[in-house]
Amino acid sequence: MTDAHPVPIQKAVSSALEWLADQGVDCLLKDVPEDRTQSSPSITAALMEPSERGMVDRAQPSSPEPQIQAAAFLGVSDARAEAVRLAGAAQTLDELCEAIAGFDGLAVKKTASHMVFSDGHPEAHVMLIGEAPGAEEDRQGRPFVGESGQLLDRVFSAMGFDRHSASPEKGVYISNILNWRPPGNRTPSPAEVQISLPFIERHIQLAAPRVLILCGGVSAKALLGQEVGISRLRKIWHDYRPVTQELGVQQSIPALATYHPSYLLRTPVQKKLVWSDVIEISQKIKNM
C-alpha cells in the first residue's frame, strides 16, 4: 500500500539536512558512510599478541591500508602527558604555536579547518581566555571574530581597550582553552579540557599578563581548578596559578571570571552583570 500523499524527494532531503544542521552536523568527512562496526584487519592485528599476529598476517593477503600509528591509540592520560612535554619545551609563543599545530592528541583537530592560536597584542597587560573557537573563528583562524567577538570588542571599548592597539597598556591579548573548533560548536568535553590545559597555561606563562579575564564557565572552572558554576566564580578576584603542576610554580596573576559574550547574546538581561565586571576590571587596572 502506498501513501496517498507521497513526500517529494527534494522536500524529504531538505528536511533531513535541516534536522542534521539543528543537531550540529555541519560538515562531512567522507562521501560514503563507513561501517565502523566492522573491524579493520589492521586494527585487529594491532590489538593481538605477537604470536597471534603472525598467523593473521600469513592467513590474509597484504593490504594497501596504511599502517596504524601508535598515536592513534593514545588515551587521555598519554595525550595529556605529551601536551605537558610539548608545552614545557616551548620557550616562545611561536614555539608554542608550532607545538600545538603538530600535536595530534585531540580528535577535534581532524574536523577543524584552522587552528586558532591568539589575537591582539602579545605583550598586553590584559589577557582574555575564552572556551573554544566557533564557526567564524574556525574559518578565519582567529579567536572572537564572530557575532560574540563583535560584542566583546564593544566591551573592550567601554574599558578603554582595543585588541588592535599597538600599546601594551591599551591592548588586549586573546586566546582559548581549546585551539580547535569542536564540531557543531558544542561545549568542550572534560577530556578535551584536561588535554588542552597544559598548552593554555604555558601560553599564559609566556605572555605574562598582569590581569586575566576568564570568559565563560569552561575557562573559569578549568584555570581556577573549580567545579562551581560561573555565576559563583564571578564578582570576586582570584589568584591564578597554573593548575598543571608540571609547569612549575609562578607568581599569581589576578583573575576575574565573567560571562561569555555568546551567553549574553542569548540572555541580554545579563549584560548589566558584565557591565559591573567591566567596572571592576577597569578599576583594578587603574590601581595597578
Burial of 189 (0-12, 13-18, 19+ CB in 10 A): middle
Confidence of residue 98 (pLDDT cuts 50, 70, 90): very high
Assess contact for 125 and 285: CB atoms under 8 A: yes
- What pLDDT is stored for residue 234 in this prediction? 93
pTM, to two decimals: 0.74
Q: What pLDDT is stored for residue 167 in this prediction?
A: 94
Q: Which residues are bridge partners to 119 per DSSP?
A: 174
For 206, the grid coordinates are 609566556
More confident residue, 57 or 148: 148
pLDDT at 256 over 70: yes
Low-confidence winner among 10-24, 57-71, 208-222, 258-272 (lowest mean pLDDT): 57-71
Share of the chain above pLDDT 90, in %: 66
pLDDT, tens digit, for every residue of 150-173? 999 999 998 889 999 999 999 999
What's the full length of the chain, in residues?
A: 288
Q: Tell me what pLDDT residue 224 has.
A: 96
Determine the pLDDT at residue 35. 55
> Mean pLDDT over residues 115-120, rounded?
98
Name, in order, each residue with C-beta under 8 angstroms of 158's C-beta and a sequence gap of 6 or more: 275, 278
Give me the chain's average pLDDT, please: 83
Domain extents in the chain: 71-287
* Cβ-Cβ contacts under 8 Å for 141 (sequence gap 6 or more): 114, 115, 116, 117
Q: Between 14 and 224, name the one with better pLDDT.
A: 224
Looking at the structure, give the CATH architecture of the domain made up of residues 71-287.
Answer: 3-Layer(aba) Sandwich (3.40)
Residue 31 has pLDDT above 70, yes or no: no
Residue 21 has pLDDT above 90, yes or no: no
Residue 91: what pLDDT? 97
Among residues of the chain, what percentage have pLDDT more than 70? 74
| Backbone torsion region of residue 134, taken as left when φ is above 0, otherwise alpha when ψ lies between -120 and 50, otherwise beta | beta
- Between 26-40, 73-87, 90-104, 232-246, the lowest mean confidence (pLDDT) is in 26-40
Each residue's pLDDT tens digit, 32-51: 555 544 544 443 444 444 44
pLDDT digits (tens, 9 = 90+) for 127-150: 999 999 999 999 999 999 989 999
Paired sense of beta strands 237-240 and 172-176, if any: unpaired
Count Cβ atoms within 10 A of the Cβ of residue 212 and give its class: 0-12 exposed, 13-18 middle, 19 or more buried. Answer: buried
